[in-house]
């Protein structure tokens, strides 16, 4: 049976981007969340500690028939 990851939202912590040409090279995953609301709550908590972070959706995108 094939293992398939569920769609999820991942919160990434951003480090100093001045040494990298690509922004994604300066990000480290912190937590995987099942909902955007949960990821947003984690992001707000990190922002209170003056940490720059971003939420990214990981999973299949789109839809249709």
* Residue among 40, 46, 15 nearest 57 (CA): 40
Q: Are 47 and 53 spatial neighbours (Cβ–Cβ below 8 Å)?
A: yes
Strand, helix or coil for residue 57: strand
* Residue among 49, 50, 41, 47 nearest 9 (CA): 41
Residue-range domain boundaries for the chain: 8-58
Task: Dig out the tokens for 4 from the structure.
Answer: 């398939």
As a whole number of angstroms, the distance between CA 49 and CA 36 comes to 20
Per-residue pLDDT of the chain (65 residues), as tens digits, is 344 557 899 999 887 656 666 666 778 899 999 999 999 999 999 888 877 889 999 887 765 55
């Amino acid at each position: 049976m094939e293992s398939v990851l569920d769609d999820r939202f991942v919160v990434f912590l951003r480090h100093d981007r001045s040494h990298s040409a690509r922004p994604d090279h300066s990000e480290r995953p912190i937590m995987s969340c099942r909902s955007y609301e949960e990821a947003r709550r984690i992001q707000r908590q990190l922002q209170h500690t003056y940490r720059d972070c971003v939420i990214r959706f990981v999973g299949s995108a789109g839809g249709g028939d």
